[in-house]
Amino acid sequence: MAETTHLKTTGIGVIVLAAGASRRMPNRAKQLLIYKNQTLLRRAVETALASKAAKVTVVLGASSAETSAEIEDLPVSVVLNRDYETGLSSSLVCGLNALLADSEHFNTDAETVRAVVVTLADQPFVTAAHINRLIEVFERDNVPLVAAEYNSTVGVPALFSKTLFAELARIKGDKGAKELIIKHLASAAVLPMPSAATDIDTPADFARLSRQID
């Protein structure tokens, strides 16, 4: 069970990207792999819900009937990316558009979206505390971008302020937001987050995960 918090930061949402076709995981949807009695998808979504973010949007695509059933009882907005095969960026844009369209339901004051945190369903060691830290640095330093650093690179989970939404909406291909992070790295805050280095793409990745205790 993810850690919980009742203090929500208004105007900040999380987009959980979980639309991929798991091409390197033969005959299995990696979103539905079980780790510690939970699917990777449910673990990621519950982690986002346990954070300080005011709203969670989940982007599904491949195996959508099964993945949507896995989280149908959770208080999140689910959006289907029918173009998921075109690359990770299409899911990010789909999630951002859905979150912005639903911004009137963000909180009782109908505050617009100030920032979004982008997370992946296949990073099982990312916690609510990690997401909260991204939000806290954004609130404290008023930077346009807060990114995780691991394996000598930067990536997601990452927080993007509304000043970058237009650029996020224009990204294409399968590189997700990484190019945008690198482009704005000089003005970003970077947080060491070694646990985010673990992601699950192949059967070997999952075998290693199954042997770990976090």
* Mean pLDDT score across all residues of the chain: 89
Residue 2 lies in a domain: no
Residue type, 170: R
Residue 187 structural domain? 10-211
Q: What is the pLDDT of residues 78-114, one digit of tens each?
A: 999 999 988 889 999 999 999 998 866 555 444 589 9
Residue 3 lies in a domain: no
Highest mean pLDDT among 17-21, 56-60, 61-65, 201-205: 56-60
Residue 4 lies in a domain: no
| Pair of tokens at residue 82 | 């029918």
Q: What is the pLDDT of residue 211?
A: 80
Who's near 60: CB < 8 A, 6+ residues apart? 18, 19, 67, 68, 78, 79, 80, 81
Euclidean distance between CA atoms 38 and 41, whole angstroms:
8
Beta bridge partners of 57: 15, 77
Residue 23 lies in a domain: yes
Q: What is the pLDDT of residue 10?
A: 84
Euclidean distance between CA atoms 106 and 72, whole angstroms:
19
Question: In percent, how much of the chain has pLDDT > 70?
Answer: 91
CA distances from 194 to 119, 132, 197 (A): 15, 16, 6
Q: What is the pLDDT of residues 34-47, one digit of tens each?
A: 999 999 999 999 99
Q: What is the pLDDT of residue 107?
A: 54
Residue 73 lies in a domain: yes
Q: Domain total for the chain? A: 1
Residue 132 pLDDT exceeds 50: yes
Residue 5 lies in a domain: no
Q: 59 near 15, Cβ under 8 Å? A: yes
Nearest Cα neighbor of 165 from 81, 77, 99 is 99
SS3 34: strand
Average pLDDT over residues 70-78: 96
Residue 1 lies in a domain: no
| pTM of the entire predicted model | 0.91
Residue 203 lies in a domain: yes
Which DSSP string corresponds to 104-164?
GGSSTT-PPP-EEEEEETT-TT--HHHHHHHHHHHHHH--SEEEEEETTEEEEEEEEEGGG
Domain harbouring 59, CATH code: 3.90.550.10
